[in-house]
Amino acid sequence: MSADTHRKPRKFVQDRDAVVWKGRYEPYDIVKEFLIALVVVVILVAGLAVVFGSPDDRPVTVKSWSTASPVDFAQTAITELDGTSGTATYGPPYNENGTAQSIGSLTPEHWLGVHHPIDTAQDYVLGPLATLPDSPQVQAAVAEYRSATATRQAAWTAAYEKAVANATYAHGKLVVPAGDYGPVGEIVSGLTSMARSGALDGALVSSNQFYGTDYTKPLLFIADGQYLANLAANQHLGGDEWGMMNETGQWPGQAWLWLYTLWYQVPPANNSTNGDLEVFATMIVLTTILALVPFIPGLRSIPRWTRIYRIIWRDHYREVERPTGGGPSSGSPPQVEGNAREPVTV
């Protein structure tokens, strides 16, 4: 005799258990239903594709950015050189310079550390400039900058960063108010020219391999500037406008991310330095709750309390609750699914 034979049946719980259906069965051609649904979906999708199409706005390149907004490019370039840009001060997984987001004593960013190392001065400015052929002035400027002390470098870049805020671009040249910038002016002007020629795009994606598919460096560089953010703001894609769940134009985007994006619109995440981690933690908790609803008393009773099921199964209840009828399960004793026992009828 097995141990199961001795197991005491559990008490029947409406929100956990179900009875075995003893009522009527009706013909149901499941294959036909699937094929009809497939045809309807194909027609619907084709109609939507013909009428609305899909967006495909051209990507921003370093060339297009520096051509359309050379001053913004130069202002960004100097922050990459002096290590004050968003990427330079980000922290893991790009470098160790930033303050990682945390909840209490948990700082998950540090758990796996730096995996995509970026030294913005070397990777975005000095390294690419070193690849420029036939540019003795630029190479001399780079050499002078490299040989200077850190204090001297910081003095040059700080002065230039202040001056470039009032820079203009005219006649193919970056015009910056005069000052003691050492070689920094030549470096930033050289990088701007390189960017406008398109050469910087290639330099940023080049690697030890011929085929490259990792655009981390150019994407983060572009994102450090204001140009990309301004284009996104013009398309109402900013983080305060439900951000990345949207697409350019009027396309629906990732509407299913609405709950994730919602938390960025309200406190505490919308004004917290740990906002991203707080939103993720919130979503992990809510998602876990959703998956475990069947185990959570109270939550699993919501369907019964709201009684929406009576709309879904309205035909069934109409039939069962007819004054003359005993319902489809009448005449046969109820059998409970699983090892629950039916309650005593009083």
Partner 1 sequence: MTIADPKAPRPDQADLDKAADRPEDADQWTARIRTTAVEALPPQRMLPDRQPAYVASWIYVFGVVTISALCVVIATGFVLAVFGPNWWHVSSTGLFVNSLHLWSVEVFFFAMVVHLWGKFFMAAWRGKRKATWITGVVSFLVSVGAAFTGYLSQQNFDSQWISTQAKDGINSTGAGAIFNVTNFGQMLMWHIVLLPLCVVALVGVHVLMVRLRGVVTPFAARNETPGGEPADTTGAEVQA
Q: Which of residues 25-64 bind partner 1 (CB under 8 A)?
A: 25-31, 33-34, 37-38, 40-42, 44-46, 48-50, 52-60
Per-residue mark of binding to partner 1, 87-126 (x: CB under 8 A) = ---x-xx-------x------xxxxxxxxx----------
Q: Among residues 109 and 186, whose Cβ is nearest to partner 1?
A: 109
Which residues touch 273 (CB under 8 Å, ≥6 apart)? Answer: 99, 101
Which residues touch 215 (CB under 8 Å, ≥6 apart)? Answer: 205
3-state secondary structure of 337: coil
CB of 212 to partner 1, least distance (A): 8
Give yes or no for residue 282 binding partner 1 (CB under 8 A).
no
Which residues touch 226 (CB under 8 Å, ≥6 apart)? Answer: 69, 72, 75, 76
For residue 318, the number of C-alpha atoms closer than 13 Å in the C-beta half-sphere is 5
Of 99, 137, 265, 306, which lies in the binding site for partner 1, with binding defined by CB under 8 A?
Answer: 306
Q: Among residues 68 and 340, whose Cβ is nearest to partner 1?
A: 340
Give yes or no for residue 330 binding partner 1 (CB under 8 A).
yes
Q: How far is CA 301 from the centre of its chain?
A: 33
CB of 67 to partner 1, least distance (A): 16
Give the CA diameter of the chain: 100
Give yes or no for residue 127 binding partner 1 (CB under 8 A).
no
Site for partner 1 in 225-254 (CB under 8 A): 228, 231-232, 237, 239, 243-244, 247-248, 251-252, 254
Of 6, 24, 151, 250, which lies in the binding site for partner 1, with binding defined by CB under 8 A?
Answer: 24
Which residues touch 334 (CB under 8 Å, ≥6 apart)? Answer: 19, 20, 22, 342
Cα(280)–Cα(286) distance, integer angstroms: 10
